[in-house]
Amino acid sequence: MTDKFSTPIQLRPIGYVENGVDEAISPAMIRAVESRIILKPRLENGLKSLGLSSRVMVIFYFHQSEGYELQQHPRGDTSRPKRGVFALRTPRRPNPIGVTVVDLDRVEGNVLFVHGLDAINGTPVLDIKPA
């Protein structure tokens, strides 16, 4: 049981996000931005058939998130009661993983052009799945 709780899991990015957003802005604003996901060139063949879906799930790592509290005000709004971190989508969480379903505009080689990704420039991407 101790092992199940403590075994570290090591991942490597499959790529990263490029967009014009260099610091956190509101999710609503960032979702309107076009982002490019630059995949490792050797993984490009893994994109075959992805264009069949117009929506894809992007799993990424909030690389600038530091620390967390177990209970937080939604969107930092102190007028709202605190909720548990697992009942929030805040980047400040035990494993700072984000999951967002985005609109896939097109794929060019190892680059995905998407809308709706709430991740800043340089964010490491861990996985892409059909939504």
Residue located via tokens 């609503």: 28
Angle at 56 between CA 51 and CA 59, to 5 degrees: 135
111 binds a copy of itself (CB under 8 A): no
**Pairwise CA distance, residues 38 & 62, whole Å:** 16
Q: Enter the DSSP assignment of 54.
A: S
* Binding-site size, a copy of itself (CB under 8 A): 50
26 binds a copy of itself (CB under 8 A): no
- Binding to a copy of itself (CB under 8 A) within 61-80 occurs at 61, 70-71
45 binds a copy of itself (CB under 8 A): yes
Q: Look at residue 70 and give its three-state secondary structure.
A: coil
Residues near a copy of itself (CB under 8 A) are 4-16, 38, 40, 43, 45-50, 52-53, 56-57, 59, 61, 70-71, 82-89, 93-95, 97, 99, 122, 124, 126-130
